[in-house]
Amino acid sequence: MDSSEEDAQLAAIFIAGEQGALRLMYDRYGPLLYRIALSTLGSTPDAEDVLQETFVSAWRGRSTFDPAAGSLPGWLVGIVRRRAIDQLRSGGRQRRAWQAVVQEFTPEEVPSNMDSVVERTLVSDELSRLPQTQRRVLEMAFYDGLTHTQISAATGLPVGTVKSHVRRGLLRLRQRWEEDSALV
């Protein structure tokens, strides 16, 4: 049995609400989802929390999963990506507030990794302005570190279409950043 058939069978028992499905999903997709969360967040505890939230959210929202609209792994990747971005946004606000306090008391002595948090927040904001398909493909490529082939498998889009969405999305982002830079 090939992996797409196994995914379809797993999706069917997941939709039916069989408890064992959650364990099978965790075993099958957990490592990929964890890598996505970790690469996005850069923190093991945060990635573990997001992974847990992803499976809880998937289980609770299983009635919204439509196998005709996309694959189960693609749906899960979307959930983990959104959860990780939400974590970044909330964590970014907390870190910026903390960083402001630290800099007030030790201005030049505290090394800052806030640049990467701020950059991720800005990129996330710009991505949210793209059309949904372009945004999803770019987030899977850059936040999740997936290849064009992996994105194609997760979304059901042809590889050429994935490449086109990546290119068009990057061009739109570049154009927006150039416009924003001109305003500064």
Contact 30, 44 (CB under 8 A): no
Domain membership flag for residue 124 = no
One domain for residues 29 and 96: yes
Residue 184 has a pLDDT of 47
Kindly indicate the confidence band of residue 20, based on its pLDDT and cuts at 50, 70 and 90. Answer: confident
Highest mean pLDDT among 61-65, 168-172, 176-180: 61-65
Overall domain count for the chain = 2
Domain membership flag for residue 150 = yes
Tokens matching residue 163? 């490449």
Tokens matching residue 59? 């289980």
Q: 3-class secondary structure for the chain?
A: CCHHHHHHHHHHHHHCCCHHHHHHHHHHHHHHHHHHHHHHHCCHHHHHHHHHHHHHHHHHCHHHCCCCCCCHHHHHHHHHHHHHHHHHHHHHHHHHHHHHHHHHHCCCCCCCCHHHHHHHHHHHHHHCCCCHHHHHHHHHHHCCCCCHHHHHHHHCCCHHHHHHHHHHHHHHHHHHHHHHHHHC
**For 45-56, what is each residue's pLDDT tens digit?**
888 989 999 998
One domain for residues 86 and 159: no
Q: Which domain holds residue 183?
A: 129-184
**For 119-170, what is each residue's pLDDT tens digit?**
666 666 677 788 888 888 888 887 777 888 888 888 888 999 999 988 888 8
**Amino acid identity, position 177:** W
Residue 174 burial by Cβ neighbours in a 10 Å radius (0-12, 13-18, 19+):
exposed
Q: For residue 181, is pLDDT > 50?
A: yes
One domain for residues 104 and 135: no
Residue 45 has a pLDDT of 86
Residue 33 has a pLDDT of 94
One domain for residues 144 and 80: no
Domain membership flag for residue 123 = no
Cα distances (Å, whole numbers) of residue 72 to 7, 108, 155, 161: 7, 48, 9, 20
**For 75-133, what is each residue's pLDDT tens digit?**
999 999 999 988 888 765 455 555 554 455 444 443 445 455 556 666 666 777 888 88
- CATH number (domain holding residue 147): 1.10.10.10
Cβ-proximal residues to 29 (8 Å cutoff; 6+ apart), any chain: 72, 73, 76
One domain for residues 13 and 72: yes
- Mean local confidence (pLDDT), 57-85: 91
- 98 versus 6: the higher-pLDDT residue is 6
